[in-house]
Amino acid sequence: MTEEQHAQPPVRDRSSETGSLLKAEYLSQAEINAAVNLVVQESGQIPPEELIRAVARLLGYKRVGNDLSTRISETIFAAN
């Protein structure tokens, strides 16, 4: 990751990806945090469950399973 990407990580849409590229464990905390910031900028403060779903949708996930929900929520709460 370049310095610029680290400072402003891209939020990638994974809706056209398949297989292991969709595993929650491969999502970087920087990208999740960038997605959280975008959602909060657009929607303001929302309940944690809605924030997790909105972040997952922004990242291109169609459904939010336990692994994805855990990965996003752990990243959100680690940043606070």
Q: What SS3 string covers the chain?
A: CCHHHHHCCCCCCCCCCCHHHHCHHHCCHHHHHHHHHHHHHHHCCCCHHHHHHHHHHHCCCCCCCHHHHHHHHHHHHHHC
The pLDDT value given to residue 34 = 95
The pLDDT value given to residue 80 = 63
The pLDDT value given to residue 18 = 85
The pLDDT value given to residue 5 = 64
Model confidence pLDDT, tens digit, residues 2-60:
777 667 888 999 999 888 878 999 999 999 999 999 999 999 999 999 999 999 999 99
Residue 74 has pLDDT above 90, yes or no: yes
The whole model's pTM is what?
Answer: 0.87
User: Domain map of the chain by residue range?
Assistant: 27-80
